[in-house]
Structure 1
Amino acid sequence: MTLQRVYLVAGELSGDILGAGLMRALKARHPGVEFQGIGGPRMIAEGMQSRFPLETLSVMGLVEVIKHLPELVGVRRTLRREALAWQPDIMVGIDAPDFTLGLEKQLRREGIKTAHYVSPSVWAWRQGRVKGIAQSVDGMLTLLPFEADFYREHQVPVAFVGHPLADELPLENDRLAARQALKLEPDAPVLAMLPGSRGNEVRFLGHTFLAAAELLCQRHATLSVVIPAATAQRHAEIQALLVDYPALASRVHLLDGQAREAMVASDAVLLASGTAALEAMLCHRAMLVAYKMAPATHWLAKRLVKTRWVSLPNLIAQQSLVPELIQEAATPDAIADQLDALLVDHDARTALEARFAAMHEGLQRDASRRAAEAVTAIAAGQPLEQHHGE
């Protein structure tokens, strides 16, 4: 089957990266294929006609979504109407499950094939959601092997495609070259700090991260702190926060993007939980994951989440490789103490970098190509068994 029209809806920057890779692979397989829906700058560069800005769907937390619900309902109604008028061969929701799965369910009822790229964390909490997912999608595309196992157990068609970031990032990287590119001292310690790509994350984590950095700079006289801002808006927000930390003025390098370069250049990484933790793992860097959210959201999450870990490196390894500090535990002092331990223990860092390199190799599967094959199979009504990740 040759695909002519694919409707894609991505919800945040990580989804934009995945969507752009999928689009490239689909174009290679189906020359002339057209794309509509919601995408970010990378997907737009690949030919997406995006109906709304990517940030429309980037709402963090259970409580925060409620505030934006009327707008989100209106956006979904518009997308449903336009997708039905356009009649794509398949609709693919990329992450943002609270939004995209509902749209997938509506379109599937109208006879449009649907797929979902990036599994929601049903294995961690609210496992009953898998019944709704089964009604919403003709196939699930997972990035990680333990996710695909869960769907097979629940008889949901699934393809483990691997993670595109694992394909994109090299198995060997050059810390010194990255430091030279960022104009950092070659022999001084470097901390990369990533407080999140969403506005709410910077609001909840920004001051805590900067206060921790200030403490670390007191302990390490030559430490440089590199902060890659995910967007121009995050850059402005972090710049505003830095006014309260004059002691960091000579130590902080605030970048526009360049997260990967910052991680590779670093000795250790401080970051919010999420895709950034996987990226740090794929850059083979020691890290500390810290996260804060609205108190009401955290109260709910504590009662719903059943997994032992929140960071992807720990979940993939199924052991505590990366320290995690969540909510009240994520204090500047606790963060500084954990990072200090990472910075001074060279042997532990070297061992962890080797472990991450091995995990990286296991996730390299040419994911975008596999995802395009799975999307084509779903659109054609073919089974996904051959895409299970032999």
Structure 2
Amino acid sequence: MTKNFKIFISTGEISGDLQGGLLVAALFDQAEARGWELEITGLGGQRMAAAGAKIIYDTRRISSIGFVEALRYVAPTIKFQALAKKQLQNNPPDLVIFIDYIAANLTLGNYIRQHLPVPTVYYIAPQEWIWSHSPKTTQKLIEISDQMIAIFPEEERYYKKHGANITWVGHPLVDRVKNAPNRDQARQQLGLKADELAIVLFPVSRYQEIKSLLPLFLSAVKIIQAQLPQARFWLSLSLAQYRAEIAATVAEFGLEIPILEEPLLLIAAADLTLAKSGTVNLEIALMNVPQVVVYRINPFGLWLYQTFLKFDLDYVSPPNLIAMEPVVPELLQENATPDKIAATSLDILQNPQTKAQMLAGYDRVKHLAGEPGAVRRAAQSILNLLAQETATVNW
């Protein structure tokens, strides 16, 4: 007899939706192999929906970094949490999966612990092992999770040390980049000549970054253009709803930059990427493309974090966090200026030693990211827990 299970997934931001989409596809695939049928609902975005999940609220619309930047999303966050609780009450799942998104998932996890006797899994746990607010936060994350699934080796060590039931599966992006076109195919598709340099911008995945980061990137482009007339530029679009405003900003700078929604194609063709800090940094590293990482948040918000939460990171980009060394240059806050972005970019493009050193660092990152099959292993682990819990209940 076919087994039918309901799974609820809670995540936010574009990176969470990307990881959620990969996981949803793997869950359906592994469930089919067992002769199971799944119904997956939750909070996420278009990638999860495309993989077959029913999305009750698109949380990509309210993503932000920084205390001040997040204030505008307080009301929408309350709204989607209320929707999630209503969904859980009216249609109780057999299992709940949290993906990153610490504030919302801690709240939802506490609610589930108090009101629903269902097993919970934290996949891609918040990076407490890097920037722990307090041991209490770590303990709360463990308390709302029957199982945790780690994508970094250090993540597994940290949470296991604090008593978590956790398993390391490797990083899911290792599988994703396997589907990328090769360099020659990508450059041919973009119409690049052999002597042309391709520089790709990844400046925006949140609305706030159109104002805070995009002008920095475009100002740097103008400086690089003056030094390297053979360079051509592209901009990777993370959300279609941002296209008009991004295009208008590009035009204001007097630039003509194609805007595409094909990140893997653009990375494959690139000689260099200028990227905001985020998941894309790891994709770029796994595809062996040099990069410059840039980020800024509201200075007052940063001061609050540093003063009250003792927030002081050595690194912010995933390649540097995985290796715990400066594999890629990070230009943050007051160092995130057009002149410094341009100078760092030119050094990479014109100095073979700088590029070679970065690529050697990428080899270390790849080793620590694990073997292919991470998402499949995560899905198997989740379904094993579901089978175990179901067997216990039936017994």
Residue 316 of structure 1 corresponds to 322
- Give me the whole-angstrom Cα distance separating, in 2, the residues matched to 1:96 and 1:214: 36
- For 1:352 and 1:60, how far apart are their aligned partners in 2? 27
* In 1: Cα distance, 2:249 partner to 2:120 partner: 43
Residue 95 of structure 2 corresponds to: 90
Q: State the TM-score, normalizing by the size of structure 1.
A: 0.91
Q: Which amino acid aligns with 1:175?
A: R
Q: Where does structure 2 lack aligned partners over 5 or more consecutive residues? A: 390-395
Q: Residue 117 of structure 2 aligns with which residue? A: 111
Distance 1:324 1:161, change over 3 A: same
The CA deviation string for residues 120-177 of structure 1, in whole angstroms up to 9 with x for no partner, is: 1212231321011122211222211111110011001112121211112139963232
- Partner residue in 1 for 2:392: none
Matched, 1:24 2:30: no
Q: Identity over the aligned pairs, expressed in percent?
A: 29
Whether 1:260 aligns to 2:267 is no
Unpaired stretches in structure 1, ≥5 consecutive residues: 383-390
SS at match of 2:126: coil
Q: Does 1:344 align with 2:345?
A: no
Give structure 1 regions of 4+ aligned residues with deviation exceeding 4 angstroms.
Answer: none
Instruction: Give 1:43 deviation, angstroms.
Output: 1.5
- Taking the aligned partners of 1:228 and 1:113, their CA distance within structure 2 comes to 38
Q: Is the 8 A contact 2:200 2:272 kept in 1?
A: yes
Q: What pairs up with 1:1-390 in 2 under 5 angstroms?
A: 4-30=5-31, 31-109=36-114, 110-123=116-129, 124-128=131-135, 129-170=137-178, 174-246=182-254, 248-249=255-256, 252-255=257-260, 257-303=261-307, 304-357=310-363, 359-360=365-366, 362-363=368-369, 364-380=371-387
Letter in 2 for 1:40: G
Counterpart contact for 1:125–1:307, Cα < 8 Å: no
Query: 2: CA distance between counterparts of 1:108 and 1:67?
Result: 29
1:105 Cα deviation after fit = 2.0
- CA, structure 1 residues 57+135, in 2 after alignment: closer, same or farther (shift >3 Å)? farther
Post-superposition offset of 1:307: 3.0
Partner letter of residue 9 of structure 1? S
Asked whether the 8 Å contact 2:327–2:362 carries over to 1, the reply is no
Task: After TM superposition, give the deviation of residue 370 of structure 1 in Å.
Answer: 1.3
Q: Which residue of 2 aligns with 1:388?
A: none
1:80 Cα deviation from its structure 2 partner: 1.2
Q: Using the alignment, how far apart are the partners of 1:189 and 1:17 within structure 2?
A: 29
Is the Cα contact below 8 Å between 1:57 and 1:99 reproduced in 2? Answer: no
Query: Normalized against structure 2, the TM-score is what?
Result: 0.89
Aligned length: 378
| 1:194 and 1:271 in contact (8 A); partners too | yes
Q: Deviations over 1:47-68 (max 9, x none)?
A: 2111112324423322233332
SS of corresponding position for 1:269: strand
3-state SS of 1:140 partner: strand
Aligned 8 A contact 2:177 2:286 in 1? yes
- One-letter code aligned to 2:222: E
> Bigger CA drift: 10-19 or 215-224?
10-19
Query: 1:93 corresponds to which letter in structure 2?
Result: F
Question: Aligned equivalents of 1:195 and 1:375: distance in 2?
Answer: 34
Residue 96 of structure 2: SS of its match in structure 1? strand
Evaluate the alpha carbon distance shift between residue 218 and residue 166 of structure 1 in structure 2; reply closer, same or farther with a 3 A threshold.
same
* Matched AA of 2:273: V
- Structure 1 CA distance, aligned partners of 2:128 and 2:225? 40
Q: CA deviation at 1:3?
A: 6.0
Whole-angstrom distance in 2 between the partners of 1:116 and 1:211: 40
